[in-house]
Chains A and B, each alone.
Chain A
């Protein structure tokens, strides 16, 4: 559905986007993840034809954005980081204008607008001026705008930024529902959001792709050790010594002293070995009761930090 090949955008010496390639299948929800300034918005602006690329191609349904811009633009609904709203229009005036702009036929316009307003729950504010709406409503009007004309592809740049937690959950649900009929690229710097909504994740850092995979595979692939947190009662030093004796342990560190003589340890072991049972018996033998034991698997957050900080070290 969307093919991006060797996409580069440079400003003089600086490369905002550096040789990015990936494809998005029809009906897929792709997450675009990266720290602020990584090149997410630039990439999205190129895909939607707002700015041209320096090198590389973007094809949507076989149409090239440089050669056939209007065919591509017809198929894309775009919600930029800042929703493009006219403050002195009412919500329905605004959506009516966007529908005209996108050549929605006169017949379909009314019912399409009503359906979309119902879907993003803005029907009750349709007569109000956009400038008087709260941030959450403005964001929804922006989303409604991108849905007009029934485009196959939706490109959403940080759609939940600045919303309250309840609104975030609502918008996420909505995007998930939209994913059934649309191909979606969604950018975010919030990790749980991407892992909650997206089927595949592209992690981008300093204009380059750091990883592309499903959220699950990403956490599996990056786990070279398994991590445990164990809270054990007893003297710190001798517990550490006792743990180090267990086969397969790579690293032990007293983390926080939770109460007097009760310490949380972070223990890392080989990935293949489950050390929970040996740990229990070792501690029981030594007479140090385990108060709490839990496994610390690598979250998407850890992976993200690893990938984006590794890059820094290279530079």
Chain B
């Protein structure tokens, strides 16, 4: 698992992908921060809320190549015929993308620091907010990895994950209005609505379990997709 993780993590920084993405994320998030700052909003949660939306565009770029490219370049054979298990391969890749995301998130810690110089942001809110943000990112990445396993085209993989994540964002508005069993099923996918507690500075177990199990389910589905494709290919 570690060998895959190391290779993927390095390959992010060997290509322009990581730099462009981190740059883009920092640029957008600092714009948001700047707007909030000039409007005199001291609550950091506003920033995190918008940054979570930006993730809909950032995460697919992060994950699009992970599995799609292995298939396209024929290197999947090397991984599958090596003694490493499929689970360790997928988990290694997932953790590599997650680590890049952590690096990216780490840079944004500078905003609450600036904020604390200028005013007095609520510390539990900032900490709770970041825990929620990171868990949300973990869930997004698992979906992106899953999308990447469906196709050998990076573009299609990116489109599938952007559309999927957008749908999940829209669900928080749609799901309650449907009512009945559909509302329940669809609200399971509503990733955003579960960030509310965190952004209010409350650390409760429920949402944490939710995000972790969401990630685990999609990592598991990714493994199943690859496994299933092996049976049908020549």
Task: Kindly identify, within residues 48 to 94 of chain A, every residue whose CB is under 8 Å from any CB belonging to chain B.
Answer: 48-52, 70, 73-74, 76, 78, 80, 82-89
The answer, among A16, A49, A87, for a CB contact under 8 Å with B81, is: A49
With a CB–CB cut-off of 8 A, which chain B residues contact A251? none
In the complex, the answer to whether B81 meets A51 with C-beta atoms within 8 Å is no
Q: Which residues of the partner chain A approach B77 to less than 8 Å between Cβ atoms?
A: 45, 48, 50, 78, 80, 84
A residues in contact with B7, CB < 8 Å: 86, 97, 100
A50–B84 touching, CB < 8 Å: no
The chain B residue sitting closest to A49, CB to CB, is B81
Q: How large is the interface on B (under 10, 10 to 19, 20 to 34, 35 or more residues)?
A: 20 to 34
| Contact across chains for B2 and A100 when beta carbons are under 8 A apart | yes
Cβ contact within 8 Å between B6 and A51: no
A51 to B84, CA, bound (A): 15
Interface residue B83 (Cβ < 8 Å from any Cβ of A): yes
Tell me if B99 is interfacial: C-beta within 8 Å of chain A: no
Given contacts A80-B77, A86-B75, A88-B15, contact A9 B6 (CB under 8 A): no
Residue among B2, B81, B233 making CB contact with A73, cutoff 8 Å: B81
Residues of A contacting B78 in the complex (Cβ-Cβ under 8 angstroms): 84, 98, 101, 145
Q: Say whether A11 faces chain B, with CB atoms less than 8 Å apart.
A: yes
B 1-43 to A, binary, CB cutoff 8 A, 1 in contact else 0: 0111011000100110000000000000000000000000000
Chain B contacts of A311 at CB under 8 A?
Answer: none
List B residues at the A interface (Cβ < 8 Å). 2-4, 6-7, 11, 14-15, 73-85, 230-234
Indicate the size class of the contact surface on chain A.
20 to 34
B residues less than 8 Å from A45 (CB atoms): 77, 234
Report yes or no: A88 in contact with B14, Cβ–Cβ below 8 A.
yes
Q: Is the CB of B3 within 8 A of A51?
A: no
| Distance A189 CA – B84 CA, assembled complex (angstroms) | 32
CA distance A102 to B84 in the complex (A): 7
28 residue pairs bridging A and B, Cβ less than 8 Å apart: A11-B234, A48-B81, A49-B80, A50-B81, A51-B234, A52-B230, A52-B231, A70-B85, A73-B81, A76-B81, A78-B77, A82-B74, A84-B75, A84-B76, A86-B73, A86-B75, A88-B14, A89-B11, A97-B6, A98-B82, A100-B2, A100-B7, A101-B4, A101-B84, A102-B82, A102-B83, A103-B83, A145-B78
State A84–B79 Cα separation when bound (angstroms): 9
Report the bound CA distance from A84 to B80 in whole Å.
Answer: 11
In the complex formed, the residue of B with least CB distance to A87 is: B73
B81 in contact with A101 (CB, 8 Å)? no
Cβ-defined contact, A70 with B83, below 8 A: yes
A52 contact set on B, CB distance < 8 A: 230-231
Q: Is the CB of B6 within 8 A of A50?
A: no
Complex alpha-carbon distance, A264 and B76, angstroms: 55
Report the bound CA distance from A295 to B75 in whole Å: 49
In Å, the complex CA distance between A52 and B80 comes to 12
User: In the complex, what's the smallest C-beta–C-beta distance from B152 to chain A, in angstroms?
Assistant: 14
Considering the complex, which residues of chain A in the window 24-57 have a beta carbon less than 8 Å from any beta carbon of chain B?
42, 45, 48-52
Q: Which residue of A lies closest to B80 (CB)?
A: A50
Residue pair A101, B79 in contact (C-beta under 8 Å): yes
Alpha-carbon distance between A254 and B52 when the two chains are bound, in angstroms: 85
By the criterion CB–CB under 8 Å, are B81 and A78 in contact?
A: yes
A48-B83 Cα distance, complex, nearest whole Å: 11
User: How many whole Å from A132's CB to the nearest CB in chain B?
Assistant: 15
Partner of B74, one of A11, A84, A100: A84
